[in-house]
Amino acid sequence: MQVLTSHRPAGIALACGCCLLLVSGCQSNLGQTPARQVRVLAAASTASAMEEIAEQFQQRHPGISIIISTGPSNGLTQQILAGAPADIFLPAHRQWAELLDAEGLSSRTVDLLSNHLVLIVPRGNPAQVQLPGDLLTDAVTKLVIAGEHVPAGIYAEQTLNALQLFAPLQSEGKLARGSDVRTTLIFVEVAEAEAGIVYATDAQRSDLVEVVATFDPLTYETVVYPAILLQAGDASPQARQFFDYLISSAGIDIFTQHGFASLDSKQLPHPP
Protein backbone atom coordinates (compact mmCIF):
# COMPACT_ATOMS: atom_id res chain seq x y z
CA MET A 1 0.00 0.00 0.00
CA GLN A 2 1.28 3.43 -0.91
CA VAL A 3 1.33 6.27 1.58
CA LEU A 4 1.12 9.58 -0.23
CA THR A 5 3.10 11.82 2.09
CA SER A 6 6.34 12.36 0.16
CA HIS A 7 7.51 13.16 -3.36
CA ARG A 8 4.42 15.29 -3.83
CA PRO A 9 3.88 17.63 -6.76
CA ALA A 10 4.84 21.19 -5.89
CA GLY A 11 1.22 22.30 -5.73
CA ILE A 12 0.42 19.57 -3.22
CA ALA A 13 3.31 20.46 -0.96
CA LEU A 14 2.26 24.11 -0.99
CA ALA A 15 -1.40 23.41 -0.29
CA CYS A 16 -0.71 20.91 2.46
CA GLY A 17 1.75 23.22 4.16
CA CYS A 18 -0.92 25.78 4.91
CA CYS A 19 -2.33 24.18 8.06
CA LEU A 20 -1.98 27.07 10.52
CA LEU A 21 -4.51 29.87 10.30
CA LEU A 22 -4.15 32.98 12.42
CA VAL A 23 -7.32 35.03 12.53
CA SER A 24 -6.41 38.03 14.64
CA GLY A 25 -8.62 40.79 15.86
CA CYS A 26 -5.78 43.05 16.99
CA GLN A 27 -3.71 45.55 15.04
CA SER A 28 0.02 46.09 15.11
CA ASN A 29 -0.26 49.72 16.18
CA LEU A 30 1.82 50.69 19.19
CA GLY A 31 -0.13 51.35 22.33
CA GLN A 32 -2.97 48.96 21.53
CA THR A 33 -3.92 46.28 24.01
CA PRO A 34 -2.76 42.90 22.67
CA ALA A 35 -5.52 40.48 21.75
CA ARG A 36 -6.02 37.52 24.03
CA GLN A 37 -5.41 34.25 22.21
CA VAL A 38 -7.59 31.16 21.89
CA ARG A 39 -5.86 28.12 20.38
CA VAL A 40 -8.06 25.76 18.38
CA LEU A 41 -7.10 22.41 16.86
CA ALA A 42 -9.49 21.09 14.21
CA ALA A 43 -9.84 18.29 11.70
CA ALA A 44 -8.51 19.17 8.25
CA SER A 45 -11.98 18.88 6.72
CA THR A 46 -13.25 21.79 8.85
CA ALA A 47 -10.51 24.29 7.91
CA SER A 48 -12.50 26.63 5.66
CA ALA A 49 -15.55 26.71 7.93
CA MET A 50 -13.46 27.23 11.06
CA GLU A 51 -11.63 30.18 9.51
CA GLU A 52 -14.93 31.83 8.58
CA ILE A 53 -16.42 31.25 12.04
CA ALA A 54 -13.34 32.73 13.69
CA GLU A 55 -13.46 35.82 11.47
CA GLN A 56 -17.15 36.35 12.19
CA PHE A 57 -16.59 35.90 15.91
CA GLN A 58 -13.83 38.49 15.94
CA GLN A 59 -16.02 41.04 14.23
CA ARG A 60 -18.07 40.88 17.42
CA HIS A 61 -15.10 40.44 19.78
CA PRO A 62 -12.10 42.31 18.33
CA GLY A 63 -10.06 41.88 21.52
CA ILE A 64 -9.71 38.13 21.02
CA SER A 65 -7.27 36.41 18.64
CA ILE A 66 -8.21 32.94 17.36
CA ILE A 67 -5.33 30.69 16.29
CA ILE A 68 -6.49 27.64 14.32
CA SER A 69 -4.30 24.64 13.50
CA THR A 70 -5.77 21.95 11.26
CA GLY A 71 -4.62 18.47 10.36
CA PRO A 72 -5.44 14.78 10.82
CA SER A 73 -7.50 14.22 13.97
CA ASN A 74 -5.27 11.45 15.29
CA GLY A 75 -2.14 13.58 14.95
CA LEU A 76 -3.77 16.54 16.66
CA THR A 77 -4.90 14.28 19.49
CA GLN A 78 -1.34 13.10 20.00
CA GLN A 79 -0.20 16.73 20.15
CA ILE A 80 -2.72 17.44 22.92
CA LEU A 81 -1.65 14.32 24.82
CA ALA A 82 1.97 15.46 24.49
CA GLY A 83 1.12 18.80 26.09
CA ALA A 84 0.72 21.08 23.07
CA PRO A 85 -1.18 24.27 23.99
CA ALA A 86 -4.83 23.96 23.00
CA ASP A 87 -8.12 25.30 24.30
CA ILE A 88 -10.65 23.76 21.89
CA PHE A 89 -10.53 20.64 19.74
CA LEU A 90 -12.80 19.62 16.85
CA PRO A 91 -11.86 16.13 15.59
CA ALA A 92 -13.76 14.06 13.00
CA HIS A 93 -14.29 10.99 15.19
CA ARG A 94 -15.68 10.41 18.67
CA GLN A 95 -12.85 8.07 19.67
CA TRP A 96 -10.51 11.03 20.13
CA ALA A 97 -13.03 12.79 22.38
CA GLU A 98 -13.36 9.61 24.44
CA LEU A 99 -9.58 9.26 24.71
CA LEU A 100 -9.09 12.84 25.90
CA ASP A 101 -11.94 12.46 28.37
CA ALA A 102 -10.36 9.28 29.75
CA GLU A 103 -7.11 11.20 30.20
CA GLY A 104 -8.93 13.94 32.11
CA LEU A 105 -8.12 16.60 29.50
CA SER A 106 -11.62 17.58 28.39
CA SER A 107 -14.10 19.74 30.25
CA ARG A 108 -17.12 19.72 27.95
CA THR A 109 -17.98 17.79 24.77
CA VAL A 110 -20.82 18.43 22.31
CA ASP A 111 -21.51 16.12 19.35
CA LEU A 112 -21.84 18.93 16.84
CA LEU A 113 -21.64 17.91 13.18
CA SER A 114 -21.92 15.06 10.73
CA ASN A 115 -20.71 14.41 7.18
CA HIS A 116 -20.85 11.68 4.54
CA LEU A 117 -18.51 9.96 2.12
CA VAL A 118 -18.43 10.40 -1.64
CA LEU A 119 -16.44 8.88 -4.49
CA ILE A 120 -14.62 11.53 -6.50
CA VAL A 121 -12.70 11.55 -9.78
CA PRO A 122 -10.60 14.19 -11.56
CA ARG A 123 -12.60 16.61 -13.68
CA GLY A 124 -13.46 14.90 -16.95
CA ASN A 125 -13.42 11.46 -15.30
CA PRO A 126 -10.63 9.98 -17.47
CA ALA A 127 -11.13 6.43 -16.12
CA GLN A 128 -14.92 6.63 -16.61
CA VAL A 129 -15.69 5.61 -13.04
CA GLN A 130 -19.42 5.66 -12.35
CA LEU A 131 -19.90 3.20 -9.47
CA PRO A 132 -17.68 1.88 -6.67
CA GLY A 133 -17.43 -1.44 -8.50
CA ASP A 134 -15.68 0.34 -11.37
CA LEU A 135 -12.66 0.77 -9.12
CA LEU A 136 -11.69 -2.80 -9.97
CA THR A 137 -11.47 -2.13 -13.72
CA ASP A 138 -8.11 -1.89 -15.50
CA ALA A 139 -8.70 1.84 -16.14
CA VAL A 140 -8.23 2.54 -12.42
CA THR A 141 -4.65 2.15 -11.24
CA LYS A 142 -4.93 4.11 -8.01
CA LEU A 143 -7.67 4.85 -5.49
CA VAL A 144 -6.58 7.25 -2.77
CA ILE A 145 -8.13 7.39 0.70
CA ALA A 146 -6.98 9.05 3.91
CA GLY A 147 -4.56 7.38 6.34
CA GLU A 148 -5.55 4.28 8.26
CA HIS A 149 -5.66 6.11 11.61
CA VAL A 150 -7.34 9.24 10.18
CA PRO A 151 -11.16 9.35 10.57
CA ALA A 152 -11.80 9.80 6.83
CA GLY A 153 -9.55 6.81 6.16
CA ILE A 154 -11.26 4.71 8.84
CA TYR A 155 -14.70 5.46 7.38
CA ALA A 156 -13.48 4.83 3.81
CA GLU A 157 -12.00 1.47 4.77
CA GLN A 158 -15.27 0.51 6.47
CA THR A 159 -17.36 1.25 3.38
CA LEU A 160 -14.91 -0.52 1.05
CA ASN A 161 -14.99 -3.59 3.30
CA ALA A 162 -18.79 -3.52 3.38
CA LEU A 163 -18.81 -3.44 -0.45
CA GLN A 164 -16.18 -6.23 -0.56
CA LEU A 165 -13.79 -3.95 -2.44
CA PHE A 166 -11.05 -3.31 0.11
CA ALA A 167 -9.27 -6.68 -0.14
CA PRO A 168 -9.14 -6.83 -3.97
CA LEU A 169 -8.06 -3.20 -4.25
CA GLN A 170 -5.30 -3.82 -1.72
CA SER A 171 -4.14 -7.08 -3.31
CA GLU A 172 -3.98 -5.45 -6.75
CA GLY A 173 -1.86 -2.60 -5.39
CA LYS A 174 -4.43 0.03 -6.27
CA LEU A 175 -4.92 1.45 -2.79
CA ALA A 176 -2.96 4.54 -1.74
CA ARG A 177 -3.36 6.77 1.31
CA GLY A 178 -3.06 10.50 1.85
CA SER A 179 -1.92 11.94 5.17
CA ASP A 180 -5.38 13.47 5.71
CA VAL A 181 -8.58 14.08 3.78
CA ARG A 182 -7.38 17.35 2.26
CA THR A 183 -4.25 15.65 0.90
CA THR A 184 -6.46 12.90 -0.50
CA LEU A 185 -8.55 15.51 -2.31
CA ILE A 186 -5.47 17.20 -3.75
CA PHE A 187 -4.11 13.99 -5.24
CA VAL A 188 -7.36 13.53 -7.16
CA GLU A 189 -7.43 17.20 -8.16
CA VAL A 190 -4.04 16.89 -9.85
CA ALA A 191 -4.97 13.48 -11.36
CA GLU A 192 -2.36 11.56 -9.40
CA ALA A 193 -5.17 9.05 -8.77
CA GLU A 194 -8.14 8.08 -10.93
CA ALA A 195 -10.47 8.17 -7.92
CA GLY A 196 -10.62 9.01 -4.23
CA ILE A 197 -12.93 8.83 -1.23
CA VAL A 198 -13.44 12.05 0.73
CA TYR A 199 -16.10 13.83 2.71
CA ALA A 200 -18.84 15.53 0.74
CA THR A 201 -17.78 18.86 2.26
CA ASP A 202 -14.29 18.55 0.76
CA ALA A 203 -15.61 17.63 -2.68
CA GLN A 204 -18.02 20.59 -2.52
CA ARG A 205 -15.19 23.12 -2.22
CA SER A 206 -13.26 21.92 -5.29
CA ASP A 207 -13.85 22.75 -8.96
CA LEU A 208 -11.25 20.20 -10.01
CA VAL A 209 -13.10 17.01 -9.06
CA GLU A 210 -16.46 15.42 -9.82
CA VAL A 211 -18.62 13.40 -7.44
CA VAL A 212 -19.69 10.21 -9.18
CA ALA A 213 -21.24 8.33 -6.25
CA THR A 214 -22.37 8.80 -2.67
CA PHE A 215 -21.69 5.87 -0.36
CA ASP A 216 -24.56 4.30 1.54
CA PRO A 217 -24.26 5.63 5.11
CA LEU A 218 -25.20 2.17 6.38
CA THR A 219 -21.83 0.88 5.12
CA TYR A 220 -19.81 2.94 7.62
CA GLU A 221 -20.32 4.31 11.10
CA THR A 222 -21.94 7.71 11.47
CA VAL A 223 -19.44 10.52 10.98
CA VAL A 224 -19.45 12.63 14.15
CA TYR A 225 -17.47 15.79 14.83
CA PRO A 226 -17.43 16.43 18.60
CA ALA A 227 -16.60 19.94 19.77
CA ILE A 228 -14.38 19.66 22.86
CA LEU A 229 -13.65 22.40 25.36
CA LEU A 230 -10.38 21.26 26.88
CA GLN A 231 -9.46 21.82 30.53
CA ALA A 232 -7.03 24.58 29.54
CA GLY A 233 -9.81 26.28 27.58
CA ASP A 234 -12.25 26.01 30.45
CA ALA A 235 -9.84 28.13 32.48
CA SER A 236 -9.97 30.89 29.84
CA PRO A 237 -13.04 33.17 29.60
CA GLN A 238 -12.11 33.93 25.98
CA ALA A 239 -11.93 30.24 25.06
CA ARG A 240 -15.27 29.54 26.73
CA GLN A 241 -16.77 32.45 24.84
CA PHE A 242 -15.50 31.19 21.47
CA PHE A 243 -16.61 27.62 22.27
CA ASP A 244 -20.13 28.86 23.00
CA TYR A 245 -20.10 30.75 19.72
CA LEU A 246 -18.79 27.71 17.82
CA ILE A 247 -21.69 25.51 18.96
CA SER A 248 -24.32 28.26 18.65
CA SER A 249 -26.73 28.73 15.76
CA ALA A 250 -24.31 31.30 14.28
CA GLY A 251 -21.49 28.77 14.13
CA ILE A 252 -23.72 25.97 12.87
CA ASP A 253 -25.09 28.20 10.10
CA ILE A 254 -21.58 28.58 8.73
CA PHE A 255 -20.85 24.87 9.01
CA THR A 256 -24.04 24.02 7.11
CA GLN A 257 -23.12 26.52 4.40
CA HIS A 258 -19.95 24.47 3.97
CA GLY A 259 -21.97 21.26 3.61
CA PHE A 260 -21.88 19.86 7.15
CA ALA A 261 -25.02 18.58 8.87
CA SER A 262 -25.95 19.65 12.39
CA LEU A 263 -26.54 16.78 14.79
CA ASP A 264 -28.93 18.73 17.03
CA SER A 265 -30.17 21.80 15.19
CA LYS A 266 -33.37 22.00 17.28
CA GLN A 267 -31.48 22.69 20.51
CA LEU A 268 -28.79 25.09 19.37
CA PRO A 269 -28.08 28.01 21.70
CA HIS A 270 -28.12 31.55 20.40
CA PRO A 271 -24.72 33.18 19.80
CA PRO A 272 -23.31 35.19 22.72
pLDDT, tens digit (0-9, with 9 covering 90-100), for 60-78: 999 999 999 999 999 999 9
**Percentage of the chain lying above the pLDDT 90 cut:** 83
User: What is the pLDDT at residue 126?
Assistant: 98
pLDDT value, residue 139: 98
The pLDDT assigned to 26 comes to: 41
Residue 3 lies in a domain: no
Residue 9 lies in a domain: no
Q: Is residue 66 part of a domain?
A: yes
Last residue of a domain, one of 199, 219, 239: 219
Note whether residue 156 is domain-resident.
Answer: yes
**pLDDT band at residue 11 using 50, 70 and 90 as cut-offs:** very low
248 is annotated as contributing to ligand binding: no
Same domain, 61 and 91: yes
- Please tell me the predicted confidence (pLDDT) of residue 2: 52
Residue 220 labelled as part of a binding site: no
Residue 206, annotated as binding a ligand: no
Q: Which residue among 203, 219, 235 closes a domain?
A: 219
pLDDT at 270 over 90: no
- 88-135 per-position pLDDT tens digit: 999 999 999 999 999 999 999 999 999 999 999 999 999 999 999 999
One domain for residues 49 and 110:
yes
**Pair (82, 100) in one structural domain:** yes
Residue 146: the pLDDT is 97
Question: What pLDDT is recorded for position 10?
Answer: 37
Q: What is the dihedral of CA 172, 178, 183, 188, to 10 degrees?
A: 0
Residues 122 and 214 in one domain: yes
Residue 178 counted as domain residue: yes
pLDDT of residue 19 exceeding 80: no
Average pLDDT over residues 15-32: 44
Instruction: Indicate if 122 and 57 belong to the same structural domain.
Output: no
**Tens digits of residue pLDDT in 229-248:** 999 999 999 999 999 999 99
Total count of domains within the chain: 2
Region 151-172: mean pLDDT is 98
Give 1: exposed, middle or buried? Use CB within 10 Å, 0-12, 13-18, 19+. exposed
Tell whether 12 is covered by a domain: no
Question: Residue 121, annotated ligand binder?
Answer: no
Residue 123 forms part of a structural domain: yes
6 is known to lie in a ligand binding site: no
pLDDT in tens, 185-204: 999 999 999 999 999 999 99
Statement to judge: residues 103 and 229 lie in one domain:
yes
Residues 149, 94 share a domain = no
Specify whether 205 is located in the same domain as 229: no
* pLDDT for res 14: 36
End-of-domain residue from the set 179, 201, 219: 219
Whether 13 shows a pLDDT value over 90: the answer reads no
**Residues 214, 128 share a domain:** yes
pLDDT of residue 34: 53
Q: Which amino acid, 198?
A: V
Domain span including residue 68: 35-114+224-267
Examine the domain organization and report whether 103 and 230 are in the same domain.
yes
The pLDDT score that the predictor gives to residue 61 is 96
Do both 169 and 234 map to the same domain? no
pLDDT for 264 equals: 66
CATH number, domain with residue 152: 3.40.190.10
Provide the pLDDT for residue 84.
96
- Do strands 36-43 and 88-90 pair parallel, antiparallel, or not at all (unpaired)? parallel
Find the helix packing angle between 10-17 and 181-189, rounded to 10°: 150
Q: Tell me 223's DSSP state.
A: P
Query: Does some domain include residue 102?
Result: yes
Do 142 and 48 belong to one domain? Answer: no
If you compute the radius of gyration of the chain from its CA atoms, what whole number of angstroms results? 19
- Cα gap 154→42, rounded to integer Å: 17
